[in-house]
Amino acid sequence: MAKALQAGDLDCKLSLFTLDTHKNGKGESIGQSESPFVQNLSCRKRERGGVETGGDGSGSPAASRETAYGLVDFDIRYRMDLLPTMILYCEGIQYDILNIHAMAGTRRQWLTIETQKHD
């Protein structure tokens, strides 16, 4: 059985930002900027991989290809105010949030943020 996550295992720091949309006097979008939501949040970083099969849509085996991509999970203390639309930075790298869920069996003690490196 795997060891339960403890506060001493949180050995990285992450920052979360919200994306604000700016509008002109006519209500038209003129740009976006990031606003800090939380900075220097302690976390545990776990990297895992995946493979995606894609192609040109023809369905032929010759046209399909496999692409490797890196998924990264961040484990943090439980919070209720996080959204998947936020932007996550860790060690200077931007990540897209795919999913946020409570860690199984922890009763609101830990959250897992599933991410993918931003292209």
4-15 pLDDT per residue, tens = 888 888 889 999
pLDDT digits (tens, 9 = 90+) for 22-43: 889 898 888 889 999 999 999 9
Contact criterion met (CB below 8 Å) for 115 and 73: yes
For residue 48, pLDDT beyond 80: yes
For residue 77, pLDDT beyond 90: yes
Round to whole Å and give the CA distance between 118 and 19: 15
**Mean pLDDT value of segment 41-52:** 84
Domain boundaries 11-50+63-117, corresponding CATH code: 2.40.10.370
Q: What percent of the chain has pLDDT over 70?
A: 82
Identify any residues that bridge with 42 across adjacent strands, giving them in sequence order. 13
**Mean pLDDT value of segment 94-110:** 89
Q: Write down the domain spans for the chain.
A: 11-50+63-117
